[in-house]
Amino acid sequence: MIIEDKRLNIEGLKKHFKGAEYLLTKDITEFYLSLDPTIKKTTINWRVYTLVQKNILTRIGRGKFCFGSSKTFLPEIGRKEKVIFNKLNSEFPFVEICIWNTKVLNEFMQHQPGNFQLIVEVEKEVTQSLFYFLKELKYLVFIEPTSDILDKYLPIDKEAIIIKSLVSESPTQLVNGITTVSIEKLLIDIFCDDIIFSAQQGAEMRTIFNEAFSKYTINQSKMLRYASRRRKKEVFQEYLSSFQIYGSNDNKAGIL
């Protein structure tokens, strides 16, 4: 269904909601109803769909939008990540694997850590198998390490692999054929795990959140759903309420 721009009334929509941090579906519905009280709900739904397709609106949650095009976080996938992912995928073809390097956090951090780790997340039942497989390949690897283990054995001059259990229904994404972390998963993971991500806690985590929300579109529903899967939804919402992270212009997304 092709909808003419004049029917979308894009300029009128922007003017009407100028300064708004976000729009709800009911707000858009009321806007179009004010112009034409006889308009059908299905027609409004098509208009919303078209506005998203045209990058006039970006969906940031269920029934929640902000103005501007979507800016997706695409973490860099290095050669080492590709090699390890392909080896694991070949050895364990039916296992869901998510891989990423903590160096992708650098763009959000004020203080840069001196070393990085490669995070490999898999179903809990196969973590031990992956651990021994990587050990046989002579990789420096840890499985669900404690802070004491990391303090004693994690070298400062060598990149280690850390194996973690992959939470079911984690919001991963495919980048160049590699299953890796999404921005929603990244933020929740550093919030929930203060052992592996000890360098990203406190004031540094606040910086990471502010930078992430200013640079990329973040889906609130997806992030909170994952926080709930990790049994941290309430405490995470409380953390967010301690400071404002809202989209205030076309270049920012917000959490609502």
Establish if 189 belongs to a structural domain: yes
Q: Using CB atoms within 10 Å of the CB of residue 71, give its burial: 0 to 12 exposed, 13 to 18 middle, 19+ buried.
A: middle
Residues 223 and 103 in one domain: yes
Beta-sheet pairing, 117-122 with 23-24: unpaired
The CATH number for 105's domain is 3.30.460
Establish if 59 belongs to a structural domain: yes
Residues 186 and 160 in one domain: yes
Inter-residue contact 35 to 9 (CB < 8 Å): yes
Domain count along the chain? 2
Residues 54 and 107 in one domain: no
Establish if 73 belongs to a structural domain: no
The residue with greater pLDDT, 238 or 155, is 238
Percent of the chain with pLDDT over 70: 93
Q: What is the pTM of this model?
A: 0.76
**52-96: pLDDT as tens digits:** 888 888 887 778 888 887 788 999 999 999 999 999 999 999 999
Which residues make Cβ contacts (< 8 Å) with residue 60, sequence separation at least 6? 22, 66, 217, 218, 219, 220, 247, 253, 254, 255, 256
Residues 125 and 228 in one domain: yes
The residue with greater pLDDT, 54 or 254, is 54
Establish if 252 belongs to a structural domain: no
Q: Using CB atoms within 10 Å of the CB of residue 134, give its burial: 0 to 12 exposed, 13 to 18 middle, 19+ buried.
A: buried
Residues 84 and 130 in one domain: yes
Residues 59 and 105 in one domain: no
Q: Residue 176 belongs to what domain range?
A: 79-240
Q: What is the pLDDT of residue 114?
A: 78
